[in-house]
């Protein structure tokens, strides 16, 4: 079996400082997540993320995280930041997620409620 096909990929999420973004490359991280979800303490604007992207090592991918953002907000992030992947965490439907012509994934909450 070729183990390189099954290598675990690592994403550090919620990066907000250039030094931390630079460090991800030194640590061998595969992807960095920039958070665009309103209300998050790690929320970035597209312009802020564009500047952070300049600190990325060449082989580190950008993942853009959203939660119920408008289509205009997502389009602006795609235009300015050029993420490799979009990650949606809100009430977005399939058509919305596909509309930006960027590979995407949808987070689905598990559990919740009181433990038995």
Could you tell me the CATH number of the domain that includes residue 67?
Answer: 3.20.20.70
The answer to the question of residue 113 being in a domain is no
Residue 71 is predicted with a pLDDT of: 98
The answer to the question of residue 85 being in a domain is yes
The answer to the question of residue 5 being in a domain is no
The answer to the question of residue 32 being in a domain is yes
**Three-state secondary structure call for residue 43:** strand
Residue 114 is predicted with a pLDDT of: 56
CB 58 within 8 A of CB 26: no
Residue 109 is predicted with a pLDDT of: 81
Distance, CA of 43 to CA of 73 (rounded, Å): 13
Residues of the chain with pLDDT under 70: 1-4, 112-116
* β-strand partners of 104: 86
User: Residue 5, by phi and psi: left (phi above 0), alpha (psi -120 to 50) or beta?
Assistant: alpha
Residue 2 is predicted with a pLDDT of: 60
- Based on the structure, what is the number of domains in the chain? 1
């Amino acid at each position: 079996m070729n183990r390189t096909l099954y290598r675990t990929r690592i994403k550090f999420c919620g990066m907000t400082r250039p030094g931390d973004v630079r460090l991800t490359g030194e640590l061998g991280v595969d992807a960095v997540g920039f958070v665009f979800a309103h209300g998050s303490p790690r929320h970035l604007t597209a312009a802020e993320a564009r500047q952070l992207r300049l600190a990325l090592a060449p082989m580190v991918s950008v993942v853009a995280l959203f939660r119920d953002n408008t289509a205009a907000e997502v389009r602006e992030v795609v235009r300015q930041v050029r993420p490799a992947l979009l990650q949606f965490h809100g009430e977005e439907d399939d058509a919305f997620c596909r509309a930006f012509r960027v590979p995407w994934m949808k987070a689905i909450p598990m559990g919740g409620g009181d433990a038995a």
